[in-house]
Amino acid sequence: MIVLVAVSSPAAAAESHHAMVVAEGDLAAKAGLEILERGGNAVDAAVAVSLALGVTNSGSCGIGGGGFMLIYWAKTGRVYGLDYRERAPSAASATMYIRDGKPAEELARTGPLAVAVPGEIAGLDAALRRFGTMRFGQVAAPAIKLARDGFPLSPHMARDVSLTATTIAQDPGFRAVFFDAAGSPLKAGDTVYDHNLATLIERLGDDPVKNFYHREIAAEIAAYLKDHGGLLTVHDLASYAPVWRDPIHLEHHGYDVYTMPPPSSGGVVLEILGMFGPSHMEGVGVDSPPYLAQLIELMRQGFIDRDQYADPAYVTVPIAYLLSPAHLAEARANALHRHNGPALAAAHDHGTSNFAVVDQAGNVVDVTTTINTIFGAKMMIPSLGLILNNEMDDFSVAPGVPNAFKLIGSKANEIAPGKRPLSSMSPLIALRKGRPIFVAGGSGGPTIITGVLQVTLDSLDFDLDPERSVAEPRIHHQAAPDMVFVESSMPTRTTDALRRMGYKVKLVPELGAVNAISIAPGELRGAFDQRKGGGAVGD
């Protein structure tokens, strides 16, 4: 039985007793519930949701991208992390975007040189083979049906199409799927058909890695990119492999909070949580100026330390030190120091998607998946219906050069062959006495970090339910620019108080999107974020 509770914007919530799926798309959430009702577990459902989101939310994610999966497995009582982040092609180099001695950032954002080796299919297959109970073809069936039979364009996707229409209208693949016969972009509620994508997913069969990375599909991808001036080759595809990583965790006020290690930014969330001692939460309210001022300074310090994050296969990331009590105390003290960065504008982009699944056995999965910015590299391989990522922009194009999200590049995250770029994605599962009690994740570039952080604090420290935690107005500070971004729904008196404290404040309509589920025996409460839209379903 599906239980939906409609509430006022900007959150929607559901309650259930046995299982739940919360996702940035109601059709994708229902695809996951369908798999659960057919006897699948949380990982089976997660693969189905991922594939369905790649159809209905293709501006944000899809099989041309990659992501992270965090899994709590009830039988072992352990948390597992799967990294299927994209990798740089073997011909990539740290200077590949330098033209006439200057960085050409746009080459990393749009077009063939922006494309990294996709990891989505390899990751989903790895999770399914280790923890799933169903075949790939079975869990792919809902996505194939949506692509082939059509689905209504969501308001968020319609906005994505509209925002990028000038660019993607030049691409024959996008033009065939997202524009009408007169050449106008489809509007919210219009039916979208993607027959080539349906056929592509169907061609993957029950051995998707072999079929996507080693056979005709791989050859088609490599040939298309070669013809358009890209670097990705059949060898790059054939050599791709996801990585099982030990999650990192931190004790926070009686909770064990787990997240993905680098190249995820989950450690930044943990570091900021760790800088909040129990006494620092006393006597402050969720939106109170004293609490927000403290939060701003700790966010700033967390992003300063994020400069040390990168692919751990290429750079030694001192994650144990960064999360040590000694460093957390020092970082909190340093947070009082103001770091003045360049005056840049905020990036507004939701080119990522998140969802969470809890099944009847108590297994929990949180997935964040992406093609980076809206519609990735703005390239679709028409014969495959495959939208290509622009994940190379998550590397440092050059030290000191900001990417599309205005994050300043560091040397640790410079491009190297086969390297995974640093990501803001931060899936999170919190345990208490060894049992999961909360799961959250988000989308929205660097606002993922601060969004997941705030929803987690609201839930664990302020004891708000997921609906309220997700709905609360949020702030964002990423060290550079030296600007506090505040959602316009924040009370005016609070915003004015921050200005009086000396903060440069910029009001924005919204900051990312976060999904969350609270977990208690026989009671699951989940909420998706209506800043982006989605669905919460359960039984």
The CATH number covering residue 306 comes to: 3.60.20.40
Q: Residue 332 is which amino acid?
A: R
Number of domains present in the structure of the chain: 1
- Give the pair of three-digit tokens for residue 210: 């072999």
User: 429 lies in a domain?
Assistant: yes
252 CB neighbour count, 10 Å cutoff: 19
pLDDT for 403 equals 59
523 within domain boundaries = yes
Print the domain residue range for 313.
Answer: 246-348+425-538
pLDDT at 333: 87
- Rounded to whole angstroms, what are the CA distances from 307 to 82, 202, 267, 301, 482? 23, 41, 12, 11, 16
Beta-bridge mates of residue 249: 258
Contact 375, 156 (CB under 8 A): no
- Let me know if residue 437 belongs to a domain: yes
Asked if residue 216 is part of any domain, the answer here is no
> Which pLDDT does position 402 carry in this prediction?
61
| Residue 322: its H or E element | helix 319-322
Residue 310 lies in a domain: yes
Domain assignment present for residue 120? The answer is: no
**The token pair that represents 213 in the structure block:** 């990375």
Catalytic residue numbers?
352
- pLDDT at position 339 is 43
The first and second tokens of residue 284, run together, are 């402050």
pLDDT at 346: 40
Secondary structure E strands in 360-477: 364-370, 380-381, 386-387, 428-432, 435-443, 475-476
Instruction: For residue 531, tell me if it sits in a domain.
Output: yes
Tokens read off for 504: 């440069």
The Cα–Cα gap between 36 and 539 comes to 9
Who's near 1: CB < 8 A, 6+ residues apart? Answer: 539
Burial 161-174 (b: 16+ CB within 10 A, else e): bebbbeebbebebb
Is residue 417 helix, strand or coil?
A: coil
Cα pseudo-dihedral 56, 62, 68, 73, rounded to 10? 60
Digits of tens for pLDDT over the chain (539 positions)? 333 333 334 457 889 999 999 999 999 999 999 999 999 999 999 999 999 999 999 999 999 999 999 999 999 999 999 999 999 999 999 999 999 988 898 999 999 999 999 999 999 999 999 999 999 999 999 999 999 999 999 999 999 999 999 999 999 999 999 999 999 999 999 999 999 999 999 999 999 999 999 999 999 999 999 999 999 999 999 999 999 999 999 999 999 999 999 999 999 999 999 998 776 666 678 888 999 999 999 999 999 999 999 999 999 999 999 999 999 999 998 886 654 433 333 444 456 999 999 999 999 999 999 999 999 999 999 999 999 999 999 998 766 666 555 555 578 899 999 999 999 999 999 999 999 999 999 999 999 999 999 999 999 999 999 999 999 999 999 988 889 999 999 999 999 999 999 999 999 999 999 999 999 999 999 999 999 999 999 98
What is the crossing angle of helices 289-305 and 447-460, to 10°? 130
Q: Is the dihedral of CA 372, 375, 378, 380 positive or negative?
A: positive
User: Residues 266, 426: contact at Cβ < 8 Å?
Assistant: yes
Which one, of 141, 120, 129, 122, lies nearest residue 43 by Cα? Answer: 129
Is the backbone peptide bond immediately before 152 cis, with ω within 30 degrees of 0?
no
- Read off the DSSP letter of residue 179: B
Q: Say what the pLDDT of residue 400 is.
A: 60
**Cα–Cα–Cα angle for 150, 153, 158, nearest 5°?**
150
* 498 token code pair: 């921050």
CA distances from 260 to 24, 300, 309, 319, 437 (A): 20, 21, 12, 11, 18
Across 71-104, b (16+ Cβ under 10 Å) vs e yields bbbbeeeebbbbbbbbbbbeebebebbeeeeebb
Helix 289-305 crosses helix 492-500 at what angle (to 10 degrees)? Answer: 60
Say how far residue 75 (Cα) sits from the centre of its chain: 27
In degrees and rounded to multiples of 5, residue 15 shows phi and psi of -125, 145
Residue 275 lies in a domain: yes
Are 32 and 534 in contact, with CB atoms under 8 Å apart?
no
The residue type found at 513 is A
- The dihedral over CA atoms of 218, 221, 225, 230, expressed in degrees to the nearest 10, equals -50
Output the pLDDT for position 405: 52
Distances (CA, A) of 300 to 57, 282, 352, 513: 31, 22, 23, 20
